Each structure stands twice: as structure tokens, then as C-alpha cells.
Amino acid sequence: MKQLLLVAILAISFVACQQKTYTIEGTIEGVTEGQAVLQKLENGRPAPIDTAQIVEGKFTFTGSEEVPQVYLIFVDDNKAPIMFFGENANINIKVADINKMSEAEITGTEANELMAGFMKELPGRARLEELQADFQKAMMANDKDKMGALRTEANELMEEQKAFFLQFIKNNTGSIVSAYLANQAARDMEFDELKSLVADFEANLGDHMYVTNLKESLEAVEKAEAAKKATEVGAIAPDFTLESINGAAISLSSLKGKYVLVDFWASWCKPCRGENPNVVKAFNAYASKGFDVLSVSLDRDSAAWKKAVEEDGLVWNQVIDAKGDIAQTYGVQGIPFTVLLDKEGKIIAKNLRGEALDEKLAELLN
């Protein structure tokens, strides 16, 4: 019983002694005075926290942080900030060159030391900077051979960095550093790879904001994969019902029995407006032979949509997907985006434009 009581007392003492505030002390060589602005990233955007005067090259911030996360310090008009992980601890920052803020030495926490190790070991950093400068020179000289060689070397280095990046993340799923980096790399990951990482991060870091963000990225990838599979050539196009330009509801399935072009567009999309004359031409040529069009506008301004329909002479069925739900179902990443369906609603082609659309319709209907 005494041993259990002692353990409980020690545990309470440990929690009580845990630091509940942070002190950030910084030194900038070559700067005597100025202003330092402390910010943190909220949803990817800097949000101000505090300001401090720089006196004889030194500044101090104090405060508290409930959730360890990325902090930034901007100094006067210098565009490049100091980036580090803020948490309730004593953090020391040393800047040797005001023009190289990103190379600041940051100590005092495991997260910042892990990040420093990552940056130190990341392959090819200096060489990529050299390649970028050399590429600019080659471009100014219009030396296409040199530009090609530099681009090839840069791509090889970036692939090497990507491999290192992903391996570092996998090796450190117990750290918010890795969770933060995973958010930056999520788009480059395979679905199963990202899913596995999210499970590991969730087990180690719980519902930390970076884990929550990753889960949202995973859900987005999952939806995109489902949309891609659902709209592959050979698949039956997902049915939908939307409001038409005259207020009535129109379903895609109501057009079965015809070859149908489902055309995602918007009044503000210049390439879409440029393609509309080709669709008008195709409709006029093949409507009598069993061809129809269902235009799905992504406009949020219904007046602009209706005006564009009239201006472009779009006489077929027009519906609006203002929230983009149907576009998401079809995996639309950019517009114009089209799918051509056979009489049974099966997808037989995607993104046919201009002559390619005319040739396909001629093959099917002539």
C-alpha cells in the first residue's frame, strides 16, 4: 500500500512539474534592433501571437501552448521566417545570418532537434539551389540543352529527396515533426501507404491536429480513388439528378437510349467557353441520329450561368452543380471535363474535344 501511495505521489508531482509555459530566446547576429513577430500556422496560414523588440540582437517571447505545433518568427521586412515547433519548453534560437533565417539553430526540445537532424540529412539541398541558379542562367542564354540536363539532374535529386522524406516519416511516427511532414507529402503517397501511416500516427499521437488533417487527406484520397474507379471507361456512369435551367429536375438516367455527352463546365472557364462551339457543332450534326448533351455547370452564380448558356447558344439540357457534389463523384479535377456514354449509360470515352469528339460520334452514328 505504501509503495502504491508513493507511486501516486510521484506521478502527481511529475505532472505538476511539467512545464506549462514556453520561453523562446533568440539571438540574431548582425542585427542590433528591430521587431520580431511570433506567429503560428492555423490551417496553413500564419496567425499572429505576439511581438517582441530586438535589443542588441536579442529577443524573448513567453506564453503557453496547449498543442505543440509549427511556429514562425518574422523579423522586420525579412520575408523568410524562422520555422520551428512551439511547445511549453525553453527554446533557444540562434541566427548567424539575417539573410538565411531558415538555417537558424534551434535547440531545447526533441521535436526541434529531430527537425534539425532531418534538414541536415536531407540529400541534395545545396545542389538543388545551385541547379536552380544555373537553370536561370541557361534560360537567359536560351541554352535548351543545358536546361534539359539541369532539369534531369534536378528531377533525380528530387526523387532521392522524396524517398528520404517518406522513409523519415515512417521511422518517426511518434513525433509531431513526422506528422507535420506527412501532411506536406500526403499528395505524393499511395493510398495504402497513407492509410497505414494514419493508423500509426493515431496510435502514437491521438487526435493531434496534424493527425486529424492527415485523416481528412486520406478521406479525400479515398473519395478520389472511388470516383476514378466509378468513372473508368467501361463503367456505368453514376446517376444523378440536378436542377435544370428552367427549374425542373433532370436525371442522367432519363437520357438512356441515346449517346450522351456529360459536359462539366462553368461560365467563368475560358477553355470551356472556347470548347462550347465544338459541342454546339456536334449537337447540331448528330442530335437527329441519337446524340444528346447534358451540360453540368459548376457556377455558383446562377445569373452568370444562364447568361453564358444564352450567349453560347447551348440549346440542350442544362443543369447546375453549385456545390460540386456531382463533380466530386465524377473525380473532376479541372474543367472542361467530359464523359461520353453509350445508350446503356456505360462510359465509352473521356475528355473528347473538337475533332476527336466529332470523329468518335461519326464512328458511332454514321
- Res 10 pLDDT > 70: no
**Contact assessment for residue 332 and residue 223, using Cβ atoms and an 8 Å cutoff:** no
**Strand ranges for the chain from DSSP E:** 22-28, 33-42, 45-55, 58-63, 69-75, 82-86, 90-95, 105-107, 241-243, 249-251, 259-265, 291-297, 317-320, 337-341, 347-350
Query: Do the bridges between strand 90-95 and strand 105-107 make them parallel or antiparallel, or are there none, so unpaired?
Result: antiparallel
The residue out of 169, 195, 229 marking a domain boundary is: 229
In a domain, 300, yes or no: yes
Same domain, yes or no, for 78 and 156?
Answer: no
Name the domain count of the chain.
3
67 and 138 inside one domain: no
Contacts of 338 (CB under 8 A, 6+ apart): 261, 262, 263, 264, 350, 351, 352, 353, 357
126-147 residues labelled b (16+ CB within 10 A) or e (exposed): eebeebeebbeebeeeeeeeeb
* CATH number for position 273: 3.40.30.10
Contacts of 68 (CB under 8 A, 6+ apart): 85, 86, 87, 111, 176, 208
For residue 27, give the CATH number of its domain: 2.60.40.10
Tell me the backbone φ, ψ of residue 349, rounded to 5 degrees: -165, 155
- Residue 62 resides in a domain: yes
Mean pLDDT over all residues of the chain? Answer: 91
Assigned domain for 137 exists: yes
Same domain, 182 and 248: no
Domain boundary residue, one of 229, 261, 288 = 229
Q: Residue 9 has what pLDDT?
A: 38
Dump pLDDT digits (tens) for 269-322: 999 999 999 999 999 999 999 999 999 999 999 999 999 999 999 999 999 999
Residues 103 and 198 in one domain: no
Same domain, 260 and 148: no
Query: pLDDT tens-digit profile of 318-365?
Result: 999 999 999 999 999 899 999 999 999 999 999 999 899 999 999 999
Query: 0.85 exceeded by the pTM?
Result: no
Pair 249, 349 in one domain: yes
Residue 234 placed within a domain: no
Domain span at residue 190 reads 126-229
Q: What are phi and psi of 27, to 5 degrees?
A: -130, 130
95 and 35 within one domain: yes
Residue 318 domain-assigned (yes or no): yes
Cα–Cα distance measured from residue 237 to residue 150, given in angstroms and rounded to the nearest whole number: 44
Looking at the domain assignment, is residue 196 inside a domain? yes
Same domain, 177 and 200: yes
Residues 250, 346, single domain; the answer is yes
* pLDDT of the residue at 304: 97
The pLDDT tens digits for 172-221 are 999 999 999 999 988 888 888 999 999 999 999 999 999 999 999 998 88
Listed in sequence order, the residues at least 6 apart from 227 whose beta carbon sits closer than 8 Å to its beta carbon are 328, 329, 330, 331
Phi and psi angles of residue 97, each rounded to the nearest 5 degrees, phi first = -145, 120
Is there a domain that residue 343 lies in?
yes
Tell me, what's the pLDDT at 299? 96
Both 168 and 251 in a single domain?
no
Last residue of a domain, one of 170, 198, 229: 229
Give the count of beta carbons closer than 10 Å to the beta carbon of residue 358: 16
> What angle in degrees, to the nearest 10, is found between the helix axes of 176-185 and 191-205?
160
Do 216 and 245 belong together in one domain? no
Let me know whether 265 and 337 are in one domain: yes
Q: Is residue 7 part of a domain?
A: no
